[in-house]
Amino acid sequence: RDLEHRVRAGSHTAGVVRWLLGSVAALLVLRELREYAVGAGGLGAENATFREAMRLEPLESPRALVTTGAAQQQALFDDLQHWMLLNGAILPLAKATRVGKVRYGDVLVRGLIASAPLANNALLTSIPARLLLSRESAMVSELAVPLVRERLSPFVSLVLALLVEGARERREPGSGWAPFMRILDTVPTDMPSTWTAERLAASSHTMRGLAQRHARTVAATFAALQQRAPDALQLAGNVSLADFSRAWDLVMSRFWLLSGHAIMVPYVELLNFGEDPNSCELILPDKGKAGAVAPGAFALARFDFTLRQNYRVGEEVRFFYNQHCAEEYMLYYGFSLPGAAPCKLDTALTNYWFVTMLGEDGSARLDDPDEAHDAGKKGD
């Protein structure tokens, strides 16, 4: 009986200790959330003002869900525009442009085409922060806790945000990000991560080296998240490595890295690569072009895209992503660029992208040591 009493007492004490440790851990996470969210600017993820500023109005009765066949693609883009307008986007050239197929070599891809003359310096779109998929937009979702707890980089946070909102759309077709998620579901990817072993073996030595380093980076990041942030992957529907790799490739080919903010921009992600000198800005009303800002201040941001040339009817509106060597274009975007200089493997493996994401010991770096790096539409 004395032994039973001691066992019960020890069990009770252990339970109390576990409860105390759990409470302390919860308080630490809540404190981190408060410090991260409130920060400079005074608007935070736990603040009603921030939440209201970032809240998305869902699109009611989306046409894409009741449309089939060839008409569904147009319904997807109609839904996207209606949803963006509902949430404060400005699309002054929506009726002067159309989404259509454009040819690049032997491949047909979708692009944005002028259906009326477009003037130099015309605003193509102005998009509020709530419509920019980002770490900041994820701060008003369940993802906030693992993002803050693990201090995840803007890019890794964006990959997780895409996975979580994609999973939510499949559960709830009327969810806030659903129109954008349905568009992204239709995007094919042709990065080396999708290639057959035969196609990869037939590529250049440099392409194989970059593809192998990329595959190690993605796999190491996924493994690190399984260990450190399994709750984030659970929110994404317990995705497989293949699912994670596809989300990574989608983000890598379409995200914009502006003033330390990794963002995916609806509608503008339609723009294909070209020499067009068009420009974009991430703007805060009180500071002009945004610097590295706290999430609260980010809620006031807008993404503006301005044309910097004239377009005739039928011409495609494009954007110069960034300067890369040949194999990097294929790795990052899934296309080859005629005339691009071949990469030097040793040089390419030391660029910002690889050094930031993977340590010398092969372990993933989930945080970003240089979140202020600014490289336009793609980390250099």
What pLDDT, on a 0 to 100 scale, did the predictor assign at position 376? Answer: 44
Residue 43 contacts residue 140 (beta carbons within 8 Å): no
The CA distance from 133 to 263, in Å, is: 6
Question: How would residue 197 be classed by pLDDT, with cut points 50, 70 and 90?
Answer: very high
Residue 378 vs residue 126, higher pLDDT: 126
Sheet holding 316-319, edge to edge: 97-104, 107-114, 316-319, 272-273
What pLDDT, on a 0 to 100 scale, did the predictor assign at position 312? Answer: 97
Note the pTM of the prediction, 2 decimals: 0.83
**What are the start-end ranges of the H helices in 264-315?**
295-298
3-state secondary structure of 347: helix
Residue 369 vs residue 85, higher pLDDT: 85
In this predicted model, what pLDDT tens digit does every residue of 293-346 receive, in sequence order? 555 678 889 999 999 999 999 999 999 988 889 999 999 998 888 889 999 999
In this predicted model, what pLDDT tens digit does every residue of 68-107 receive, in sequence order? 888 888 899 999 999 999 999 999 999 999 999 888 877 8
The CA distance from 116 to 109, in Å, is: 21
Element (H, E) at 29: helix 2-38
In this predicted model, what pLDDT tens digit does every residue of 248-284 receive, in sequence order? 999 999 999 887 789 999 999 999 999 999 999 999 7
In this predicted model, what pLDDT tens digit does every residue of 13-65 receive, in sequence order? 444 444 444 444 444 444 444 444 433 333 344 477 888 889 999 999 999 99
Q: What is the mean pLDDT of residues 123-147?
A: 94
The CA distance from 145 to 287, in Å, is: 29
**Location of structure tokens 């595959």:** 215
Strands 302-306 and 261-264: unpaired
3-state secondary structure of 256: strand
In this predicted model, what pLDDT tens digit does every residue of 210-231 receive, in sequence order? 999 999 999 999 999 999 999 9
Q: What is the residue type of 20? A: L
* 3-7, 233-237, 241-245, 260-264, range with the lowest pLDDT: 3-7
Q: What is the mean pLDDT of residues 164-180?
A: 95
